[in-house]
Amino acid sequence: MAEAHQAVAFQFTVTPEGIDLQLSHQALTEIYLSVLRSWKKRLIRLKNSVITGVYPASPSSWLFVVIAILATMYTRSDPSMGLIAKIQEHLPVRYHSLSAQCQTVLSAVLFSTMLWLSLIFTMRMCLKQLLSYHRWMFEPRGKMTNTTKVWLTLVRIFSGRQPLLYSYQGSLPNLPVPAVKDTIKRYLESVQPLKNPEEFERMTSLAANFESCLGNRLQWYLKLKALWASNYVSDWWEEYIYLRGRGPIMVNSNYYGMDFLYVTPTPLQAARAGNTLHAAFMYRRKLNKEEVKPWLLMSSAPCCSYQFERMFDSCRIPGTITDSVQHWQDSDYVAVYHRGRYFRLRMYSAGRLLSPREVESQVQKILDDPSSPSPGEEKLGALTAGDRIPWAKARKEYFSSGLNKRSLDCIEKAAFFVTLDDDEQGMMGEDPAASLDRYAKSLLHGKCYDRWFDKSFSVVIYKNGKNGLNAEHSWADAPVVAHLWEYVLATDSFQLGYNEEGHCKGEVDSSLARPQRLSWDIPPECQEKIAQSLSIAQALADDVDFHVFSFRDFGKGMIKKFRISPDAFIQLVLQLAYYRDRGAFCLTYEASMTRLFREGRTETVRSCSNESCANIFVCVDHQGAEVCRRLLRQASEKHQSLYRHAMTGAGIDRHLFCLYVVSKYLGVESPFLNEVLSEPWRLSTSQTPVQQVELFDLVNHPEYVSCGGGFGPVADDGYGVSYSIVGENMINFHISCKHSCPQTDSHKYGGLIRQALLDLQLLFCPDQKDPSKADLRQTKKDM
């Protein structure tokens, strides 16, 4: 209990002589520095709020406007056209005691302030209108029209200088509501290659009936919501797709990110934890100061940053009907799990962030702790891996008061969760391919009880120094977490580094208090519920079939020589492989983003189209390279068009989803919407792009490359495929499916993907021995 007493600022005992008061000067100093640090952060937030609030102007521009107005007045001119005099007439009575000159100056300052605010409002509205222009996205690559050039110039003028992370939020346009007839037209086009003539005719009839009757009524309510909501999709998407799901979020919702593929910076577990945790808190500090740069497309079109707000200090809280996401302010510690015990590891001392070497020392104390888990503690995390309703009931019954509540609060309010895993993972051993598959499964679900799946993200540090993370999906999408993880990996290896023995650099303050062990009082009834949740989670985890591989025969460098979008090329590869696997096409989901709009998240690209199916038929039937190349380019152009429409608010599925939600609120049934929303996505895909390329030097350090991340299968009889395009010559694939489905096999599908990549390469590069020197004259001729 010594660690607990160190956190108490004073203790007192009642004696016959009176009250014996004992002060802890160390604890009082810690409290003072903690308060000081908290106020510094409040001042930083206040400053950033002012800067963001007046963007695209700057606070100093107010002084410029005031001086300009006063200078103009001293030239005997009235720039306000009588407004300053009007303001002076209506000044409160208490200002009448001032001299006439002072009253005039005060009125001029008030007029200048109103003029300044009006200019800010006008500039923001102009920027908002400029950012509503998306025609630039549909122009051929490298061929910019004069309209787009003028648009780019105006955006740069109105965007101001050095924007903060959230500077653009007030200027982003709202997501537009597409017309019902346009959405239905695009939907019917997307399902035509997947249905026989009779099924397609029936669906066309259902769609026509919906458009003429119920559709316009639902659309009216949706437009009404779009008038007052920042985004007519995002709040319903978060609640109904994520938070109201009553099944396990492990595998079904959470996703993971991997470490470097070929390099482990240090084999020491505590040292890797030291740099990783320190780098994560460095990122949080940049986030709090809004020094993380907004993501810009074409270096000018900003993306929404609101998802960053709940990255740290957040947790999903279970409920019987729906879960919720709670966010706290600036936790100064992380919750750590090791060998069935939970610890509280403070990351600050005397108001400063612990150095990597100090964090390593603290983590080593946890690793060396010989204590045993208390009853029920070891597998407590299984509650977050099982069904949500039992977890919500157990939380209310056993963790709503006393010792258990205090310990649970410590986990939920932590900056993030950390698992010190006793296993060794990564590409290693005699069978590196199989070890990579085990690594992916470990990050996705672990032992089903050694992760806290409700936390916004959990960092996993393995015994051999490998690391990774598991992220909860409701609060943000994968690119946001990937942005953090790229920074952590790069900072760990290239900025912080290690000494020759593999330890973190720096010195250790020997006076640091030991990490605090969390205490629990878990009754047998609760332990039984933990066992039940673990049984459900274990069955789900055992059913996951995973395969991860890196394709290095060629990459986006060669694909671009084909004059084809790399993403479209890979999507066609995935569909060709699926067709060879199952002998049929399927509804294919590719995640796109709508962050060009305020509070935008994702939209679906239905990448299986008439054009892609036609190309696959030709490839399968071997109808000639020239025909295949022509149809491949047509399919690629169609895919690019679908992707661009999805990014600019003209997608299909989010609009239909919101119409479905409105119908449920109104208590009306739509056979069309019911059928659309029940269609299975047997091929669910997502690309995770490298966003901060400048952090990695793949030319001089090609081994420092991450394998990306992945997710579980969406359909019981389908595949989940995540892929990342790294550098010019590497594509990573993460394939998941279920053992319980006899029709799916991740390794078989992975082999088909590899073969499809090589087959499509042959269309353009007949010389397989050295593709980089292949004759591309036929490609240029086809263009």
In this structure, the number of other CB atoms found within 10 A of the CB of residue 499 comes to 12
Find the helix or strand (DSSP H, E) in which 197 lies.
helix 197-212
Lookup result for tokens 């990306």: 708
Do 313 and 413 touch, CB atoms closer than 8 A?
A: yes
Strands (E), 502-641: 516-517, 544-551, 588-593, 602-606
Strands (E), 450-601: 457-461, 467-471, 516-517, 544-551, 588-593
In this structure, the number of other CB atoms found within 10 A of the CB of residue 748 comes to 16
Strands (E), 211-313: 255-258, 296-297, 301-302
DSSP state of 260: B
Parallel, antiparallel, or unpaired: how do β-strands 457-461 and 467-471 relate? antiparallel
Lookup result for tokens 């993306």: 303
Closest CA to 611 of 571, 647, 649, 555: 571
The sign of the CA dihedral 51, 54, 56, 57 is negative
Partners of 191 in the β-ladder = none
Partners of 604 in the β-ladder = 591
Find the helix or strand (DSSP H, E) in which 129 lies.
helix 100-131
DSSP state of 431: -
Q: For residue 540, is it left (φ>0), alpha (ψ between -120 and 50) or beta?
A: alpha
Distance of CA 657 to the CA centre of its chain: 21
Burial of 162 (0-12, 13-18, 19+ CB in 10 A): exposed
Q: Label each residue of 677-695 as H, E or C.
A: HCCCCCEEEEECCCCCHHH
Closest CA to 733 of 742, 743, 720: 720
Q: In what order do the strands lie in the sheet with 588-593?
A: 544-551, 730-738, 719-726, 683-687, 588-593, 602-606
DSSP state of 348: E
Which two three-digit tokens encode residue 690?
A: 């490298």
Do 257 and 469 touch, CB atoms closer than 8 A?
A: yes
Catalytic residues: 473
- Say what angle helices 146-158 and 100-131 make with each other, to 10 degrees: 140
Parallel, antiparallel, or unpaired: how do β-strands 683-687 and 588-593 relate? parallel
- Say what angle helices 524-542 and 432-445 make with each other, to 10 degrees: 140
As a whole number of angstroms, the distance between CA 501 and CA 498 comes to 8
Q: Cα-flanking dihedrals φ and ψ of residue 550, to 5°?
A: -110, 130
Do 470 and 454 touch, CB atoms closer than 8 A?
A: no
